[in-house]
């Protein structure tokens, strides 16, 4: 299999006046690649372009060197777990997975064996013969993943595969992704949670508002993210003294005072939290509350776009 799995050049896709993917050029190779971005970043649209479900409005995308749109040869090499689940609720999970395998041209006997194995790998064997209508959200998610991995493919595309999963189920999926990649297949999965990607890969693509912010080793991306000025609002009866304390810190980017609240922008939130802890333990400062108004991925990405 070629080391280049997905390649796009000047790729754009818009829906009316909404630009979902904007002039995106990237190359994704073998192994595990995580697509990271807040909701609305263009992750799902990019994956659907890779699957040929959408055609580009401009530019090009290639999978294994070929355009994916209506390309059965390419599509046969891809397994896909969509962001939203689509089931016939009267069917059992096993029947659904078996049916999806049969659609790939596999005979009934082998399809049943593949479906059983896939259900086992996703930890759903004990409920696989129950109707999908009786499943929890997490169980439905695992069946969706099972149908994607039931047939051995060269590329596995998982759109928000951890959504709705409890911690134990997430561990199952993390280990499954690693195992699939170790067998030589490529895995591309999306998430808006950095931790989920860090658990399984060092290779990450950052998307925001349909554009590429950065691509590479997650440790380098982490350094970029850690540069983001982190906003912390502290309620204290002694705002002036606390403001003077933080003004003397080299990691402080900005300070704002209002009534009994002080809002600090810091480039080192871990150090700030430790300093607040020390101040309280030393009984030198009364801290009534701490609030992080922008502790989310959206604010981080907005900062990275502007830098």
Residue 147 neighbours by CB under 8 Å, 6+ apart: 81, 96, 97, 100, 101, 118
| Residue 193 confidence (pLDDT) | 80
Token code pair at residue 226: 């850690």
Instruction: Report whether pLDDT(74) > 90.
Output: yes
| Residue 277 confidence (pLDDT) | 81
| Cα(105)–Cα(40) distance, integer angstroms | 35
pTM score above 0.85: no
Burial class (CB in 10 A: 0-12, 13-18, 19+), 204: buried
281 vs 78: which has the higher pLDDT? 78
Tell me the average pLDDT across 247-271: 89
Instruction: Report whether pLDDT(303) > 70.
Output: no
Instruction: Report whether pLDDT(45) > 80.
Output: yes
Q: Which of 29-33, 165-169, 196-200 has the lowest mean pLDDT?
A: 165-169
CA angle 274, 277, 279 (to 5 degrees): 110
Confidence of residue 196 (pLDDT cuts 50, 70, 90): confident
What's the fold here for domain 4-221? Rossmann fold (3.40.50)
Instruction: For residue range 82-116, list pLDDT tens digits in order.
Output: 998 888 889 999 999 999 999 999 999 999 999 99
Beta carbons of 43 and 163 less than 8 angstroms apart: no
38 vs 190: which has the higher pLDDT? 190
Q: Domain locations in the chain?
A: 4-221, 227-306
Instruction: Report whether pLDDT(135) > 80.
Output: yes
Most distant CA atoms of the chain, gap in Å: 75
- Sheet with 289-291, strands from edge to edge, namely 252-258, 261-266, 230-235, 289-291
- For the domain spanning 227-306, the CATH number is 3.30.70.100
Instruction: For residue range 169-183, list pLDDT tens digits in order.
Output: 888 899 999 999 998
Confidence of residue 301 (pLDDT cuts 50, 70, 90): low
């Amino acid at each position: 299999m070629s080391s280049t799995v997905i390649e796009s050049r000047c790729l754009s896709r818009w829906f009316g006046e909404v630009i979902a993917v904007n002039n995106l050029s990237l190359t994704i190779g073998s192994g595990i690649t995580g697509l990271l971005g807040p909701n609305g970043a263009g992750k799902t649209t990019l994956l659907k372009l890779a699957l040929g479900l959408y055609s580009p409005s401009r530019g090009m995308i290639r999978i294994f060197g070929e355009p994916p749109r209506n390309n059965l040869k390419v599509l046969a090499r891809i397994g896909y777990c969509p962001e939203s689940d689509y089931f016939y609720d009267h069917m059992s999970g096993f029947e659904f997975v078996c049916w999806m395998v049969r659609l790939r041209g596999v005979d009934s006997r082998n399809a049943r064996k593949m479906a059983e194995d896939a259900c086992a790998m996703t930890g759903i064997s004990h409920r696989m013969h129950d109707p999908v209508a009786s499943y929890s959200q997490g169980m439905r998610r695992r069946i969706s993943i099972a149908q994607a991995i039931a047939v051995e493919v060269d590329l596995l595309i998982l759109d928000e595969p951890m959504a709705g999963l409890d911690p134990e189920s997430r561990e199952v999926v993390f280990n499954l992704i690693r195992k699939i990649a170790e067998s030589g297949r490529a895995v591309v999965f999306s998430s808006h949670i950095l931790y989920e990607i860090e658990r399984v890969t060092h290779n990450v693509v950052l998307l925001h508002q349909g554009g590429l912010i950065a691509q590479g080793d997650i440790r380098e991306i982490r350094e970029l993210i850690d540069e983001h000025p982190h906003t912390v609002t502290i309620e204290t009866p002694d705002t002036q003294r606390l403001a003077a304390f933080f003004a003397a810190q080299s990691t402080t980017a900005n300070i704002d005072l209002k009534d009994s609240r002080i809002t600090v922008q810091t480039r080192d939130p871990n150090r700030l939290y430790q300093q607040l802890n020390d101040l309280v333990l030393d009984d030198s400062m009364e801290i009534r509350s701490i609030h992080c108004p922008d502790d989310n991925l959206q604010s981080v990405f907005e900062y990275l776009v502007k830098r």
